[in-house]
Amino acid sequence: MDFFAQQARVRGSSRRLVALFVLAVVAIVTAIDAVVWFTMGHHPAPGEPASSNLPLLFASSLAVLAGIGFSSLFRIMSLSGGGKAVAESVGGVPVPVDTRDPQLRQLRNVIEEVAIASGVPVPDIYLMADEPGINAFAAGYSPSDAAVCVTQGCLDNLSRDELQGVVAHEFSHVLNGDMRLNIRLMGLLFGILVLSVVGRQVIWFGGGRSNRRDGGGGQVWMIGLALIVVGYIGYFFGRLIQAAVARSRESLADASAVQFTRQTDGIAGALKKIAILSEGSELQAVRKHEVAHMLFGESEPFNALFATHPPLLERIRALEPGFREEELARLAASMQQAAAAPPAATTTPKPGGPSGMPGMAMPPVLPAVLAGAAAAAGSPTAAAGFQRAAAVHQSMPAALSEAVKQPESALAVMLALALSLQAELQPAQRRIVADAFGDDVQQVVQTMVGEVEALPPIARLPLVAMAFPVLKQLSDGRQQTLLDTLDALVKVDGRVDLNEYCLARLLRLQLQEARQPRRTPIDGLKKLPACRDSVILVCTVVAAAGCSDEASARRAWLLAMQNAFPGEAIEWTPPPAAWQAPFERALDDLDGLMPMAKELVIQSLARAIDADGMVSVEEAELLRVICASLHCPVPA
């Protein structure tokens, strides 16, 4: 199973969510209308003319629908800040980019490496410091505004491999489009459950006053009982919706973590520790029910009806088919012995250099059937993708790694990345930087030029990914000035270098989405023939970028066309000299494709790139930018 099939599943989950939500609303409206009719409706005595209750019931239904609708809208709007807003709503605190705490530093390193490997910007990182249970979640509208939040229990109880497995599980939600659905679900559940909250308050205060006044009137008692029933209807349907939407996606996320890390021990070990430790994965946060469908594990003791995850043993056996429950007791005993033994000195081996072809794009987190992922885990080169990401992470000069931890110095690094190596262009570029940001920033940029020149080419965009969390902290005006300056630097010589274009396009796309996360495009509905010209142009640009002569570019382009439009006779046309503007319009057009059509486009581009049997850094960067523009992961 791949990313695009999972996108179709998410769309199916959205339809199921809407159906269950409508069913819940109908049940609540019906229950309240029945109470209103019984307590306030006209019930004529024998011989008395009947009077219609329809206006009363219509007003009651309208009031309930308005209450649910406005409550849901209010909650969704309160989460318009994306992943950051969700993490802070459950007590998460930001993990500083420059933290020196060993546990937090390890957490940041793991998340940064997973982000590099998956081709997405590093998310905001949050910690629930008062939660001893092992749990985590990812939230946001898109990878550009995502936040990953873990509990203190993860840091205290998990090894690095286990933490890596949990983080990979959460990143699968980032890439598979689950996060936007999760935020919508939070809003809809709030709309359903808010009536029960109001009902409890009315019972508490109204019932108390009635008891003091007349010993508890029957009418107040009846209304109170009705509100309790309606409250439980809302609670029942709300929890049922969470369970229905979340369970299948959690199983897929477990498989994705294995596919990504290429080993089952990490995530399986984390699940076993949840089963062994008394805290398990439980949370103490007041709003834990709102995020129950996002979490790595259950937020409270397992309940088969309302469980948002498959049972723990079922999840473990899916990862390790031969696992038996008795093994948990042995593991618990070994953990106790390890805790009692004096700590042994350990060394962390450095990962080897990047394997495979130079410039090969980092593999993404792609959902896979577990059997295939487990088989891959046993191969000699299984962990190569993640090792490449770790190697790229470690290859970055220390000065640049430190610089991207602060907003202003990260801004200077981005400008230094856009500077040309041609001496005759540098004076004009220095003037552009000085005019935009002042002489002080221009001088800082110049001091970083040497470090940027020493940066391995394959590490350019990963460095941008690492800088992204602090670049988002810049004011909107300063972000826009940065983007405008990058465009000016790129065009200073009248032509656009491919590497410079990729840098400017990627930053502009991700910063704009981070500023307005709710406006991030959702899955389109267009089919491939509707975007035929855009597909042809994008494939033409990619083929020309990866080949040194037109004949080779034409052969690569033909391979892409045969994959995208088999049997059609399409004439090759070299890309125009001013290709950037039509190329960007084509990318925006392709972003409106339905998921399976996007898959065909990415497969076609991969055919063109692989036509000569090698993948250059330029091709890898261009493909990464195209995939970011289409909101899908880089192909493995």
Q: Which residues partner with 150 through β-bridges?
A: 127, 136
Q: 314-320, long-range: CB within 8 Å, 24+ apart, which pairs? A: 315/250, 315/251, 315/254, 315/271, 316/268, 316/271, 316/272, 316/275, 318/251, 318/254, 318/255, 318/370, 319/254, 319/258, 319/264, 319/267, 319/268, 319/271, 319/370, 319/374, 320/264, 320/268
Structure tokens that stand for 122 in this block: 């590093």
d(CA 291, CA 88): 12
Closest to 461 measured CA to CA, from 618, 355, 586, 261: 618
563: closest CA among 531, 537, 588, 600? 600
Contacts 24+ apart (CB under 8 A), 566-573: 570/536, 572/540, 573/540
Contacts of 50 (CB under 8 A, 6+ apart): 42, 44
Q: Are 164 and 114 in contact (CB under 8 A)?
A: yes
- The catalytic residue among 112, 131, 162, 170 is 170
Query: Which helix (H) or strand (E) is 54 found in, with range?
Result: helix 54-78
Active site residue 327: no
Tokens 């599980």 correspond to 169
3-state secondary structure 424-473: HHHHHHHHHHHHHHCHHHHHHHHHHHHHHHCCCHHHHHHHHHHHHHHHCC
Catalytic residue set = 170
